[in-house]
């Protein structure tokens, strides 16, 4: 019990010395460090690419491409935030770009599934390595 | 003086008329024959007139002075002294009087005064640069004129050529009677005359070359006249190709002459040649730098050997007998084959300055004489025997030229033309009358024809004595002079002269032997003409015109009509008379002038080997002449004994001297050597050569196959699997990054030049922006 | 018709019919004929045949004024025409013929009607397209020789292959597809590599003109001689090159690039010749030798394939054997000449140092000699008549190339004459083989024998053609061969020795062919009743044989035309060869040399 | 400084909308086409085709009017830098219109025969053209990406248009997946570019990159590393769109699977759009990274890609029997030639690029017109042997085809030769010895190219027609198609003989590339 109380007290003390959530938010706004986001988006991008290359099912391939798109979106947002802090004049472009990418991704999804449906109705399969009528 | 240009024109006219219009206008044989003979006669008359006019022109001293002046300038130019001389416009700038002291005055001032008629500029060729000899570096103009040159040598030639040709044409009318393409034969004969006259009258090497190849063409057409005889075609081709080998040499000689003298005109070249020094003897002279003239002379001799059938290139002449007999008489006895001697005589200044060449000419001449004579012994075909005798006599002429006695060589040409043409025509009438088919040439089926052909027999006996060199006949004077000059030749050492004389003496004997053998087999001895193939069953005529029924047994040879015997008689007479034109002054001690010698003196260069004045009758000459006559009579007697009195003896002799017999019968294996080794090997080589073509082709097709193979690879790489495509894309991206990134990576992380703290290793994509 | 100023001595001939120059008229007239022919009805075969031959004859007549109004005093181009074509790359539509080009144009127009006439009975299908292609081919061939602009030359040079490809491909023999595509691709590889060389020289010329304007102007004199209008054209070309060089130098230096101001340079052949041949003070060539060697190689490869020289000749026998008579007559008659014409027009004047480089000259001479000896030997071994004649063409063109590489007036004159005579002779031979093919439908020599007995007139004609091909004096083969080999002798005696062996080998295989086909008895019964020459056959054989005899007996007019070009080319390559510039050539100056005035013959 | 960096202007003025009037009209017509299709009865569907043709005519008029009024003002930017219209975009908008018009004209007959005549086909083509037009004019990454997607998506659908045909579905699926994969790559690259430069406007980006390149490694870590990754990804995506070698695998399958008319449109329309995209992104945005003193810029990489593309494209076509696949490889090879122009970087090179793209459009549509006409009763018309003896059946079609074939092969007196001439010339003009060797390789490729084009000529002229009855019927070319083909053949020949006017048009494009981009990126784009 005693240790628990001590712990809670020290935690509260530290919390008191710690800047408040709002200050941290404002301070984050000022010197944001985008590198962590970059690493994350790179990882997502690699995963997406791996998915496209390896997976057999077309729908999974399609999802991994969407993954790659989202990685790009993450990048845009991260850089937008960074350039906002630098006082770049057009920092908001990053956000606008993300919106458009999402719109385009949606269009792609609709269209892709339509094509997949037509293919499935015709060939009874959605495995990427079975659709190899066109070769040589 | 323009008659000279007319001399070759008439035969050309005859060729055109007979060749193109005779068949179309349906001329009869008589008309065609008349036109042909008329044309030759006309050209004979023109040449006689031209020669007469020329002889007057030559003696005129104004002309001689001008000629000497021009000769002096040319010699100065060739030696490169400062004579400003503009060859083209003939204007002579100031010419220092160039008196060369070493130029000894001959017996009387002898200067070549050729009369040149230029019709038009035949072949301009742009500027050229002299590269050999003394005047290398000068520029000259390649301009060959279509010009005729009349001087003593060509005058003599056109006279006897047209004369002999006229009678041969006359004979041919009879011999070719009944031949389907009669007009074609006479057209070709006239074409030959045109070409021969061009050869002889040509004012420069190239005009002679036109005649040279022209007569080659005419002989090709005439040898191959009997179109249906397959061996005629082969013989014609063989003759032409072998002549071309000779022409190859002559062509190179012409190019060399241009390189040394800058022009091909005989007058200029010979004048300039006289100024050049004599070249060393032996192998040193065999390069263009040291022995220019020697090499030119040798090349000219190669051309002459090809045309006049000397040792390496004589096998075509016996095969050429496949043509009709008048052709053999005209072309392969009297005129064409002597063209070689004409050219050597024409270029005597060159030859005299090239002792090595002179030796070659002499040695090859004597060798040909001996070899041909030995082969002549075992020939059974009458025309082939005569052909080998021609080759042997030509050998003699070249020996004459070789030892410096050009005049003797030329004189022998003239006399030989008469008696050899007569012999050939005689053999023609023998063939014509000797067998029912009129084409039997084998002497084994002749015998005792003197009973049936008295005129032919008589006239041929005259020629026999002439060729054997019996005293009053033409042969004696010309052949004996050659032998005499060989013995005392100033060109070589005494031993060489003696050796040549000995071999010449021996050959004369052998000639006497085989000529008498020929006469005996044909006119004396047992009548064998009934055993001939004409009388056997199943004999098919080699002219391919159908299968002959065997002739009736009571056939006997008949004499030829007058049109054939007249030429025989005329030529026979000349065979007797012609000798007296050139009686050597050694024999007569100057009492009886040697017309031929004095006539040809201006053409022959006497600067190096001046003649010794004749003291008086030279008894040693008479001794030698007598010896040769006796030797000839002995051999004739031997031949008569063997072939008439004891006809079975030759057979036994042949058995005993088996190796010698086969050597002579197989023509010293020279024919086979050429056919099997040279031509045969060449054909095999060319088949092989085609292989190289195949190899080059396959390389080209290899590239095509390579393209096709790689195309299949690239095409089948499309497996159709989408993931493969994506994989390739990913690979592409990686290569991009590696390709571009590496240098950057090197610069950033392995900085060689800038010292900077080693940054912490980070994945490329995690760099802090 | 304006016969303008043809009497002025130094003034080259000019002839304009309305707006069109005579040369353009002669070049495009056949093409117009082809277009008119397209509107003919396919079934009216006779009408098509007559129209085509008549039109070809008209084109020949149209080309005659070229000779009649020729001005013998001037050197360089005559009948010049200039018009803007593609200013962006500096290509102009420039036409002009000098001595050599004139003779080749006349050879082309001369062969035209003959070739059309001889295919009347040979061609059985698609007559309209055949004659249209023949006319188009004629236009392009004349264009090649008349072009004075390298780009125009190149367009004609390459586009000419298409009609030939179709001629061989559609009307050829059995293996026509293989040999047609082989012919096309082989020549295309050469010509495209030449395109790279053309470009490289095009840009280098601009740079050199910019750097050394004075030296280049001096070199123009050697090219132009006393020809005023040509000097204007060439100077204008050089000026365009200079401006382009300056503009490009400025542009690479960072300044802005204004394309309108400066075109990319000049394609005028004679301006390029001047720049290629220009030398600075000490006689060193402005275009460095190493670059000249590469450019020489680029051009030489394309032209060697066209000539054909030995290693690149394998397309010729296939193309000849499979092509229809008219096709192989044109191929042998004119197409081979473009190769050697190219050497005289491009390789020698534009890259003189590379051409005269001892190693290059000896390599090319050895290949030429190989062509002669090897060509003749293989011709001996052939069983097909057309193949023998094809290989004989290889041998003849070998002699021509050997003569070319003697670099002296004799050599080049001889080569040019050899080109003209071979054109007539080999075309005649191919046409005659065509006549035999029409009768017996086979070209195997074994099938024939004793033809002289059934077709005497034809055998006589073939005999004359054989003798001309072998080089008998008084026939056109000999003139070119002797003058050429004479020139070769002047350059190198060993070459002349091997070159002259050609006359023996030539006699061997031609006469062997003649003997096997014509002489001897009639072995094969099928040959027994072959009809002799018909009137039509006489019509197209007679002019050829007449040409052989006339140019053998009196070749002077030909030589005067050709000598004009040769002197200019030799003066460009070896300026003091003629010794009229005072200082004698590098040989020993024993005598001041006969002050031989510049020969005008 | 560019005019566009002006202080924030007020609301977009009427002038900006005037600039995109052609695009607006096209959008209206595309939507109207969709609506019209619903109203039309079953038999009359082809009226939509003619309607869309009229639409394209209107667009062309509007564009011509725009050019007439604002020719001197170019380059203009509008909508705060979203649009950036210069010589390149004007010329290529004409090319897109021509390509679309030809495709629509040639597909009427084809769809009628396949009984797939539906309005959406034409609407989709119009939308794709719209996408291309916007790619040409957009000056900002956002509008560029969106218009690229608009263009690509409509083509994916077009490729899969024959629902019932397994090959069409498969082709569409493959093309779709590879397409969006490459778009994702481009997008990620662009995000990195945005990250490094902070701008999305092309002009600003190239300026900042120029600053980085000269500045070298700034204090906060070297941005060039990130730039190179971005460059790699973006160029990978771009090269996919124009089917350059490492990324060309999709093209043969997509070309073979798609309906022939769509293949025709794909090989001409979207490909030209892809070239413009390449020009915008690589030349304009990433121009400064072309060549740097120490590091090999994208020029070296592009040269390698160009050589590979030419060689693989040409060689693979040699033994190809299926006509559409063969033409796919031929278009890959031509992509290689065009890359050469960009690699050489000289003014002559850009002229060659523009000229070649324009003439390639004419020639390829012409060839496809004949191939499309081959597809008739009983004949699938995809095998090269179907062309056998065409000359005897319908000579005019054969002659026209021959002209196009010779054009593609680059034989003189056809426009193809002049295009190739300019491209090869520019290589040598650049003076770089390596590029001279590239020119030699290019020339040898032209020879191989001639071989497989000659296979067409041989089939048509030299081979005898096959005996089957169906094959004997002559090709039925509607008058409209016949006129279009004759016009394009005449153009190919005319510009082959007298190419100067087309070179002047190409020069407009070349000027815009060299001068404008050079100014903005501060680096002399030689």
3-state secondary structure D165-213: CHHHHHHHHHHHHHHHHHHHHHHHHHHHHHHHHCCCEHHHHHHHHHHHH
CA distance D93 to D100: 11
Most confident of B211-220, C17-26, C69-78: B211-220
Give me the mean pLDDT over the C558-567 stretch. Answer: 91
Give me the mean pLDDT over the B348-367 stretch. Answer: 91
Predicted confidence at residue B715, as pLDDT, reads 85
| Unique residue bearing structure tokens 């994916």 | D156
B714 → closest Cβ in D225, D226, D312: D312
Cα–Cα distances in Å, from A100 out to B193, C357, D144, D145?
Answer: 105, 69, 11, 9
Q: Do A and C touch (≥3 CB pairs < 8 Å)?
A: no
Q: Evaluate if residue C254 carries a pLDDT over 80.
A: no
Q: Per residue in B634-652, pLDDT tens?
A: 999 988 888 888 888 888 8
Question: B390 to chain C nearest CA, in Å?
Answer: 26
Looking at the complex, does the CB of residue D172 fall below 8 Å from at least one CB of chain A? yes
Interchain contact, A35 vs B765, CB within 8 Å: no
Confidence band, pLDDT 50/70/90 cuts, at residue C255 = very low
Give me the mean pLDDT over the B124-137 stretch. Answer: 82
Mean pLDDT rounded to a whole number for chain C: 87
Q: Evaluate if residue D109 carries a pLDDT over 80.
A: yes
Helices assigned H by DSSP within C39-80: 45-68
Minimum Cα–Cα distance from B763: chain A residue? A39
Q: Evaluate if residue C322 carries a pLDDT over 60.
A: yes
Give me the mean pLDDT over the D440-451 stretch. Answer: 91
Please tell me which residue, B129 or A4, carries the higher pLDDT value.
B129
Predicted confidence at residue C284, as pLDDT, reads 83
Please tell me which residue, B542 or D474, carries the higher pLDDT value.
D474
Please report residues of B whose CB lies closer than 8 A to that of A129: 721-723
Question: D463 to chain C nearest CA, in Å?
Answer: 9
Predicted confidence at residue D132, as pLDDT, reads 95
Q: Do D and A touch (≥3 CB pairs < 8 Å)?
A: yes
Neighbours of D453 (CB within 10 A): 24
Asked whether the beta carbons of B54 and B151 are under 8 A apart, the reply is yes
| Partner chains of A (3+ C-beta pairs under 8 Å) | B, D
Question: B754 to chain D nearest CA, in Å?
Answer: 12
Most confident of A61-75, B50-64, B173-187, C8-22: A61-75
Q: Per residue in B490-506, pLDDT tens?
A: 888 888 889 999 999 99
Asked whether the beta carbons of C95 and C139 are under 8 A apart, the reply is no
Q: Evaluate if residue D219 carries a pLDDT over 60.
A: no
CA distance B352 to B358: 7
Number of domains in chain C: 1
Confidence band, pLDDT 50/70/90 cuts, at residue C252 = low
Looking at the complex, does the CB of residue A62 fall below 8 Å from at least one CB of chain B? no
Interchain contact, D295 vs B743, CB within 8 Å: yes
Q: Evaluate if residue C42 carries a pLDDT over 50.
A: yes
* D window 457-486, beta carbon within 8 A of C: 457-458, 461-462
Predicted confidence at residue B213, as pLDDT, reads 93
Interchain contact, D443 vs C159, CB within 8 Å: no
| Partner chains of B (3+ C-beta pairs under 8 Å) | A, C, D
Give me the mean pLDDT over the D386-411 stretch. Answer: 87
Neighbours of B740 (CB within 10 A): 23
Looking at the complex, does the CB of residue D149 fall below 8 Å from at least one CB of chain A? yes
Interchain contact, B217 vs C467, CB within 8 Å: yes
Q: Per residue in D297-355, pLDDT tens?
A: 788 888 999 999 999 999 999 988 888 999 999 999 999 999 999 988 888 889 999 99
Confidence band, pLDDT 50/70/90 cuts, at residue B211 = very high
Q: Evaluate if residue B583 carries a pLDDT over 50.
A: yes
Predicted confidence at residue C26, as pLDDT, reads 93
Query: Over pLDDT 90: what percentage of chain B?
Result: 27
| Unique residue bearing structure tokens 């002179």 | B358
Q: Do C and D touch (≥3 CB pairs < 8 Å)?
A: yes
Interchain contact, D156 vs A90, CB within 8 Å: no
Count how many Cα atoms sit within 13 Å of the Cα of residue B111 in the half-sphere of its side chain.
Answer: 21
Confidence band, pLDDT 50/70/90 cuts, at residue D11 = low
Looking at the complex, does the CB of residue D177 fall below 8 Å from at least one CB of chain A? yes
CA distance D237 to A54: 20
Q: Per residue in D181-201, pLDDT tens?
A: 999 999 999 999 998 888 888
Question: B373 to chain C nearest CA, in Å?
Answer: 29
Please report residues of C whose CB lies closer than 8 A to that of B139: 577-579, 593-594, 596
**Surface-to-core class of residue C254, CB atoms within 10 Å of its CB (0-12 exposed, 13-18 middle, 19+ buried):** exposed
Give me the mean pLDDT over the C282-299 stretch. Answer: 88
Q: Per residue in C566-597, pLDDT tens?
A: 988 998 888 888 876 544 444 333 333 333 33
Interchain contact, D192 vs A76, CB within 8 Å: no
B766 → closest Cβ in A39, A132, A136: A39
Looking at the complex, does the CB of residue A126 fall below 8 Å from at least one CB of chain D? no
Looking at the complex, does the CB of residue A79 fall below 8 Å from at least one CB of chain B? yes
Looking at the complex, does the CB of residue C359 fall below 8 Å from at least one CB of chain D? no
Asked whether the beta carbons of B419 and B575 are under 8 A apart, the reply is yes
Looking at the complex, does the CB of residue B286 fall below 8 Å from at least one CB of chain C? no
CA distance D358 to D352: 10
Segments forming the whole domain that contains residue C378: 356-554
CA distance C18 to D364: 41
Predicted confidence at residue C176, as pLDDT, reads 87
Please tell me which residue, B279 or B147, carries the higher pLDDT value.
B147
Q: Per residue in D117-155, pLDDT tens?
A: 888 899 999 999 999 999 999 989 999 999 999 999 999
Lowest average pLDDT, out of B550-564, C434-448, D374-388, D490-504, goes to: D374-388
Q: Per residue in D222-264, pLDDT tens?
A: 677 788 888 889 999 999 999 998 899 899 999 999 999 999 9
Please report residues of D whose CB lies closer than 8 A to that of B740: 228, 231-232, 295-298, 301
A79 → closest Cβ in D160, D194, D201: D194
Closest by Cα among B168, B189, B184 to B27: B184
Q: Evaluate if residue B546 carries a pLDDT over 60.
A: no
Three-state DSSP class for residue B292? helix
Predicted confidence at residue B452, as pLDDT, reads 86
Give me the mean pLDDT over the D43-64 stretch. Answer: 91
Confidence band, pLDDT 50/70/90 cuts, at residue B87 = very low
Predicted confidence at residue B277, as pLDDT, reads 84
Residue C374 inside a domain? The answer is yes
Question: B700 to chain A nearest CA, in Å?
Answer: 27
Would you identify the CATH topology of the domain A40-130? Helix Hairpins (1.10.287)
Q: Per residue in D339-358, pLDDT tens?
A: 999 988 888 889 999 999 99
Looking at the complex, does the CB of residue A1 fall below 8 Å from at least one CB of chain B? no
Residues of chain A with pLDDT under 70: 1, 15-19, 25-32, 88-91
Please tell me which residue, B251 or B557, carries the higher pLDDT value.
B251
Structure-block tokens of residue B446: 């002749």
Q: Per residue in B430-459, pLDDT tens?
A: 888 887 777 888 888 888 888 888 888 999
C511 → closest Cβ in B210, B240, B288: B240
Three-state DSSP class for residue B285? helix
Residue C538 inside a domain? The answer is yes
Interchain contact, D173 vs A115, CB within 8 Å: yes
Per domain, the residue ranges of chain D are 297-519
Minimum Cα–Cα distance from B220: chain C residue? C511
Query: Over pLDDT 90: what percentage of chain C?
Result: 52
C193 → closest Cβ in D348, D443, D451: D443
Question: D163 to chain A nearest CA, in Å?
Answer: 6
CA C222 to chain CA mean position, Å: 23
Q: Evaluate if residue B555 carries a pLDDT over 90.
A: no
Looking at the complex, does the CB of residue D386 fall below 8 Å from at least one CB of chain A? no
**Surface-to-core class of residue B606, CB atoms within 10 Å of its CB (0-12 exposed, 13-18 middle, 19+ buried):** middle
Cis ω on the peptide bond leading into residue C308 (within 30° of 0)? yes
Asked whether the beta carbons of C248 and C207 are under 8 A apart, the reply is yes
Question: A27 to chain D nearest CA, in Å?
Answer: 20
Per domain, the residue ranges of chain A are 1-31, 40-130
Rg (CA), chain A: 23
Residue C491 inside a domain? The answer is yes
Minimum Cα–Cα distance from B768: chain A residue? A35
Interchain contact, C193 vs D440, CB within 8 Å: yes
Predicted confidence at residue D278, as pLDDT, reads 92
Rg (CA), chain B: 35
Q: Give the residue from C257, C297, C302 with the most D CB atoms within 10 Å of its CB, the best one to mutate.
A: C257
A52 → closest Cβ in B726, B763, B765: B726
Looking at the complex, does the CB of residue C582 fall below 8 Å from at least one CB of chain B? no
Predicted confidence at residue C500, as pLDDT, reads 93
Q: Per residue in B360-403, pLDDT tens?
A: 999 999 999 999 998 888 888 899 999 999 999 999 999 999 99
Backbone angles phi and psi of B278, in degrees to 5: -75, 145
Please report residues of A whose CB lies closer than 8 A to that of B732: none
Please report residues of A whose CB lies closer than 8 A to that of D256: 134
Asked whether the beta carbons of B639 and B510 are under 8 A apart, the reply is no
Interchain contact, A82 vs B769, CB within 8 Å: yes
Interchain contact, B744 vs D228, CB within 8 Å: yes
Predicted confidence at residue D520, as pLDDT, reads 54
Lowest average pLDDT, out of A49-63, B511-525, C54-68, C240-254, goes to: C240-254
Question: C506 to chain D nearest CA, in Å?
Answer: 36
Neighbours of C44 (CB within 10 A): 13
Residue C455 inside a domain? The answer is yes
Confidence band, pLDDT 50/70/90 cuts, at residue D494 = very high
CA distance D136 to D273: 7
B729 → closest Cβ in D221, D236, D448: D236
Backbone angles phi and psi of C16, in degrees to 5: -120, 125
């Amino acid at each position: 019990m005693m240790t628990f109380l001590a712990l809670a007290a020290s935690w509260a003390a530290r919390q008191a010395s710690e800047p408040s959530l709002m200050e941290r938010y404002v301070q984050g706004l000022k010197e944001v460090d985008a590198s962590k986001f970059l690493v994350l988006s790179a990882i997502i991008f690699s995963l997406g690419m791996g998915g496209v290359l390896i997976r057999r099912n077309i729908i999974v391939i399609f999802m991994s491409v969407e993954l790659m798109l989202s990685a790009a979106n993450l990048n845009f947002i991260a850089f937008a935030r960074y350039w906002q802090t630098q006082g770049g004049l057009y920092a908001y472009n990053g956000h606008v770009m993300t919106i458009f990418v999402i719109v385009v991704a949606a269009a792609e999804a609709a269209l892709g599934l339509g094509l997949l449906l037509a293919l499935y109705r015709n060939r009874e399969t959605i495995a990427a390595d079975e659709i190899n009528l066109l070769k040589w | 003086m323009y008659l000279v240009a007319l001399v070759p024109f008439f035969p050309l006219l005859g060729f055109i008329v007979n060749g193109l219009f005779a068949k179309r206008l349906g001329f009869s044989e008589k008309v065609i024959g008349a036109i042909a003979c008329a044309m030759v006669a006309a050209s004979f008359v023109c040449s006689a007139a031209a020669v007469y006019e020329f002889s007057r022109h030559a003696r005129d001293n104004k002309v001689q002075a001008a000629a000497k002046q021009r000769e002096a300038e040319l010699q100065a130019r060739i030696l490169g002294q400062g004579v400003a001389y503009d060859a083209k416009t003939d204007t002579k700038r100031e010419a220092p009087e160039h008196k060369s002291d070493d130029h000894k005055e001959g017996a009387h001032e002898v200067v070549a005064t050729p009369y040149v008629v230029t019709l038009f500029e035949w072949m301009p060729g742009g500027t050229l640069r002299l590269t050999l000899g003394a005047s290398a570096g000068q520029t000259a103009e390649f301009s060959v004129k279509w010009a005729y040159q009349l001087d003593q040598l060509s005058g003599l030639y056109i006279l006897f050529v047209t004369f002999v040709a006229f009678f041969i044409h006359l004979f041919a009318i009879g011999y070719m009677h009944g031949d389907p393409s009669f007009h074609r034969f006479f057209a070709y004969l006239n074409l030959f005359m045109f070409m021969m006259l061009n050869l002889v009258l040509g004012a420069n090497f190239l005009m002679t070359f036109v005649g040279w190849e022209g007569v080659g063409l005419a002989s090709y057409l005439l040898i191959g006249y009997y179109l249906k005889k397959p061996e005629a075609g082969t013989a014609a081709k063989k003759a032409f190709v072998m002549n071309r080998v000779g022409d190859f040499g002559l062509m190179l000689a012409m190019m060399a002459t241009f390189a040394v003298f800058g022009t091909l005109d005989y007058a200029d070249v010979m004048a300039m040649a006289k100024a050049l020094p004599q070249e060393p003897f032996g192998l040193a002279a065999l390069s263009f730098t040291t022995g220019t003239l020697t090499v030119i002379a040798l090349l000219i001799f190669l051309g002459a050997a090809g045309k006049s059938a000397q040792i390496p290139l004589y096998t075509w002449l016996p095969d050429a007998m496949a043509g009709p007999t008048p052709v053999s008489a005209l072309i392969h006895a009297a005129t064409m084959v002597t063209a070689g001697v004409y050219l050597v005589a024409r270029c005597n200044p060159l030859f005299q300055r090239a002792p090595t060449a002179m030796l070659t000419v002499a040695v090859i001449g004597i060798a040909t004489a001996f070899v041909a004579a030995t082969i002549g012994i075992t020939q059974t075909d009458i025309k082939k025997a005569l052909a080998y005798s021609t080759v042997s006599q030509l050998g003699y002429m070249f020996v004459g030229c070789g030892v410096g006695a050009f005049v003797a060589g030329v004189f022998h040409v003239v006399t030989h033309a008469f008696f050899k043409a007569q012999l050939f025509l005689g053999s023609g009438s023998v063939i014509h009358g000797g067998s029912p088919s009129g084409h039997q040439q084998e002497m084994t089926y002749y015998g005792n024809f003197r009973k049936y052909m008295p005129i032919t027999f008589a006239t041929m006996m005259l020629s026999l004595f002439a060729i054997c060199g019996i005293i009053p006949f033409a042969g004696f004077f010309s052949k004996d002079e050659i032998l005499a000059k060989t013995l005392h030749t100033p060109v070589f050492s005494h031993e060489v002269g003696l050796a040549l004389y000995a071999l010449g003496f021996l050959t004369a004997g052998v000639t006497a032997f085989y000529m008498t053998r020929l006469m005996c087999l044909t006119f004396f001895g047992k009548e064998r003409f009934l055993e001939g193939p004409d009388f056997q069953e199943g004999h098919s005529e080699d002219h391919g015109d159908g299968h002959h029924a065997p002739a009736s047994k009571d056939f006997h040879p008949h004499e030829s009509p007058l049109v054939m015997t007249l030429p025989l008689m005329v030529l026979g007479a000349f065979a007797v008379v012609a000798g007296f034109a050139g009686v050597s002054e050694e024999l007569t001690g100057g009492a009886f002038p040697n017309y031929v010698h004095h006539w040809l003196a201006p053409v022959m260069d006497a600067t190096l080997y001046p003649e010794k004045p004749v003291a008086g009758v030279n008894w040693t000459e008479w001794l030698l002449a007598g010896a040769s006559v006796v030797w000839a009579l002995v051999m004739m007697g031997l031949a008569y004994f063997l072939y008439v009195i004891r006809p079975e003896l030759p057979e036994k002799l042949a058995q005993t001297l088996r190796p010698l017999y086969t050597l002579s019968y197989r023509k010293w294996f020279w024919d086979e050597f050429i056919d099997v080794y040279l031509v045969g090997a060449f054909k095999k080589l060319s088949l092989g050569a085609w292989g190289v073509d195949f190899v080059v082709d396959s390389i080209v097709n290899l590239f095509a196959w390579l393209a096709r193979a790689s195309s299949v690879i690239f095409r089948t790489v499309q497996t159709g699997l989408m993931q493969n495509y994506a994989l390739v894309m990913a690979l592409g991206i990686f290569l991009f990054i590696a390709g571009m990134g590496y240098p950057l990576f090197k610069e950033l992380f392995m900085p060689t030049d800038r010292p900077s703290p080693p940054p912490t290793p980070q994945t490329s994509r995690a760099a802090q922006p | 018709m304006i016969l303008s100023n043809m009497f002025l001595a130094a003034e080259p001939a000019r002839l304009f019919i309305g707006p069109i120059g005579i040369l353009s008229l002669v070049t495009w007239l056949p093409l117009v004929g082809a277009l008119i022919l397209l509107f003919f009805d396919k079934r009216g075969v006779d009408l098509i045949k007559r129209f085509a031959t008549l039109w070809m004859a008209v084109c020949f007549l149209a080309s005659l004024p070229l000779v009649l109004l020729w001005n013998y005093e001037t050197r360089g181009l005559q009948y010049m025409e200039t018009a803007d074509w593609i200013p962006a790359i500096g290509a102009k539509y420039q036409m002009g013929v000098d001595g050599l080009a004139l003779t080749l144009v006349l050879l082309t127009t001369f062969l035209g009607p003959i070739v059309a006439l001889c295919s009347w009975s040979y061609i059985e299908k698609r007559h309209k397209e055949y004659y249209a292609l023949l006319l188009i081919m004629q236009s392009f061939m004349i264009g090649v020789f008349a072009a004075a602009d390298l780009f125009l030359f190149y367009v004609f040079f390459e586009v000419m292959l298409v009609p030939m490809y179709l001629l061989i491909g559609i009307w050829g023999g059995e293996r026509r597809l293989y040999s047609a595509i082989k012919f096309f691709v082989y020549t295309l590889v050469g010509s495209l590599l030449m395109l790279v060389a053309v470009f490289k020289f095009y840009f280098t010329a601009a740079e050199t003109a910019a750097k050394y304007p004075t030296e280049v102007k001096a070199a123009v004199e050697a090219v132009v001689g006393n020809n005023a209008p040509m000097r204007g054209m060439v100077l204008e070309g050089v000026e365009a090159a200079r401006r382009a060089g300056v503009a490009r130098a400025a542009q690479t230096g960072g300044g802005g690039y204004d394309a309108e101001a400066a075109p990319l340079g000049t394609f005028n052949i004679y301006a390029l010749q001047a720049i290629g041949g220009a030398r600075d003070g000490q006689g060193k060539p402005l275009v460095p030798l190493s670059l000249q060697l590469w450019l020489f190689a680029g051009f030489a490869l394309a032209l060697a394939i066209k000539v054909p020289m030995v290693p690149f000749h394998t397309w010729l026998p296939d193309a000849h054997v499979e092509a229809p008579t008219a096709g192989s007559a044109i191929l042998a008659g004119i197409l081979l000449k473009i190769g050697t014409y190219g050497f005289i027009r491009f390789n020698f004047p534009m890259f003189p140092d590379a051409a005269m480089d001892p190693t290059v000259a000896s390599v090319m001479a050895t290949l030429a000699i190989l062509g002669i000896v090897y060509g003749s030997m293989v011709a001996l071994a052939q069983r097909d008549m057309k193949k023998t004649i094809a290989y004989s063409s290889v041998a003849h063109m070998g002699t021509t190339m050997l003569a070319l590489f003697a670099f002296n007036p004799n050599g080049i004159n001889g080569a040019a004459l050899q080109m003209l005579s071979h054109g007539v002779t080999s075309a005649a031979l191919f046409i005659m083989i065509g006549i035999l093919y029409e009768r017996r439908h086979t070209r195997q020599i074994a099938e024939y024998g004793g033809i002289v007995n059934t077709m005497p007139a034809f055998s006589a004609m073939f005999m004359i053609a054989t003798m001309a091909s072998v080089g008998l004096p008084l026939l056109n083969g000999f003139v070119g061969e002797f003058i050429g080999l004479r020139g070769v002798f002047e350059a190198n005696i060993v070459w002349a020795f091997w070159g002259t062996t050609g006359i023996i080998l030539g006699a061997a295989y031609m006469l062997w062919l003649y003997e096997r086909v014509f002489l001897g008895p009639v072995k094969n019964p099928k040959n027994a009743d072959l009809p002799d020459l018909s009137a039509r056959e006489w019509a197209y054989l007679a002019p050829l044989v007449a040409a052989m005899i006339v140019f053998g007996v009196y070749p002077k007019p030909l030589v005067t035309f050709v000598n004009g070009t040769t002197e200019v080319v030799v003066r460009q390559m070896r300026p003091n060869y003629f010794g009229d510039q005072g200082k004698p050539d590098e040989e020993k100056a024993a005598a001041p040399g006969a002050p031989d005035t510049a020969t005008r013959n | 400084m560019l005019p566009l960096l002006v202080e924030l202007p007020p609301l977009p003025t009427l002038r900006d909308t005037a600039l995109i009037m052609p695009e607006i009209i096209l959008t209206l017509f595309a939507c109207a086409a969709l609506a019209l299709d619903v109203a039309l009865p079953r038999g009359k569907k082809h009226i939509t085709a003619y309607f869309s043709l009229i639409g394209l005519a209107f667009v062309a008029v509007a564009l011509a009017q725009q050019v007439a009024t604002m020719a001197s003002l170019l380059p203009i930017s509008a909508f705060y830098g979203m649009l950036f219209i210069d010589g390149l975009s004007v010329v290529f908008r004409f090319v897109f219109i021509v390509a679309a018009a030809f495709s629509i004209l040639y597909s009427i007959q084809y769809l009628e025969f396949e009984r797939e005549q539906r309005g959406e086909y034409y609407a989709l083509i119009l939308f794709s053209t719209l996408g291309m037009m916007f790619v040409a004019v957009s000056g900002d990454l956002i509008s560029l990406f969106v218009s690229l997607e608009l263009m690509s998506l409509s083509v994916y659908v077009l490729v899969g248009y024959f629902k019932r045909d397994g090959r069409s579905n498969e082709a569409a699926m493959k093309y779709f997946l590879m397409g969006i994969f490459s778009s994702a790559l481009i997008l990620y690259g662009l995000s990195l570019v945005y990250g490094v430069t902070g701008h999305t406007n092309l002009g600003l980006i190239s300026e900042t990159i120029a600053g980085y390149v000269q500045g070298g490694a700034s204090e906060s870590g070297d941005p060039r590393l990130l730039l190179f990754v971005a460059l790699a990804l973006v160029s990978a995506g771009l090269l996919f769109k124009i089917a350059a070698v490492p990324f060309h695998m999709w093209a043969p399958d997509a070309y073979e699977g798609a309906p022939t008319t769509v293949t025709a449109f794909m090989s001409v329309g979207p490909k030209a759009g892809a070239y413009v995209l390449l020009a915008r992104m690589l030349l304009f945005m990433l121009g400064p990274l072309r060549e740097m003193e120490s590091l090999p810029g994208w020029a070296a990489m592009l040269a390698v890609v160009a050589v590979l593309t030419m060689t693989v494209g040409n060689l693979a076509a040699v033994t190809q029997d299926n006509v559409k696949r063969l033409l796919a490889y031929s278009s890959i090879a031509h992509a290689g030639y065009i890359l050469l122009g960009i690699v050489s970087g000289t003014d002559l090179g850009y002229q060659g690029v523009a000229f070649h793209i324009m003439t390639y459009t004419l020639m390829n549509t012409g060839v496809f017109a004949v191939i499309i006409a081959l597809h008739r009763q009983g004949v699938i018309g995809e095998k090269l042997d179907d062309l056998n003896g065409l000359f005897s059946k319908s000579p005019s079609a054969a002659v026209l085809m021959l002209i196009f074939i010779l054009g593609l092969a680059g034989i003189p007196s056809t426009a193809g030769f002049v295009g190739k001439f300019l491209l090869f010339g520019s290589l040598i003009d650049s003076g770089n010895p390596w590029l001279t060797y590239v020119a030699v390789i290019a020339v040898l490729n032209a020879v191989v190219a001639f071989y497989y084009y000659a296979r067409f000529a041989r089939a048509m002229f030299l081979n005898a027609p096959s005996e089957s009855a169906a094959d004997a019927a002559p090709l039925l070319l509607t008058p409209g198609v016949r006129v279009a083909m004759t016009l394009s053949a005449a153009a190919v020949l005319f510009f082959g003989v007298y190419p100067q006017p087309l070179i002047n048009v190409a020069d407009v494009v070349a000027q815009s590339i060299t001068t404008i981009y050079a100014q903005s990126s501060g680096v002399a784009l030689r």
